[in-house]
Amino acid sequence: MASSPTKHLNLRARTSHHDILRRVNDRLKTDPTFFTVLRGLLDDLEATAFMPIRDLRAELHRIHARIDALEAQVDSR
């Protein structure tokens, strides 16, 4: 049997995570730049602290509505 450039790793993971772990493994094997990107993501604790754009737009809409309501109160005094 020919030696493999990779070593076997046994992990316990939720069944729902199996597909993503396989995809990450496949990508690491086929895309040399993915390691750097993935390492950067894992090292950056703020990287996943984001709000999806639709939620961001909804939040901005709520803020704008509150500002409009406050301006209306000020104008009515």
Q: What tens-digit pLDDT sequence spans the chain (77 residues)?
A: 455 678 889 999 999 999 999 999 999 999 999 999 999 989 987 777 777 788 889 999 999 999 999 999 999 98
How is residue 47 written in tokens? 């990287």
Q: Domain coordinates of the chain in residue numbers? A: 15-75
Q: DSSP labels for 14-74?
A: -GGGHHHHHHHHHHHHH-TTHHHHHHHHHH-TTTT----HHHHHHHHHHHHHHHHHHHHHH
What pLDDT score does 45 carry?
A: 78
What pLDDT score does 55 carry?
A: 85
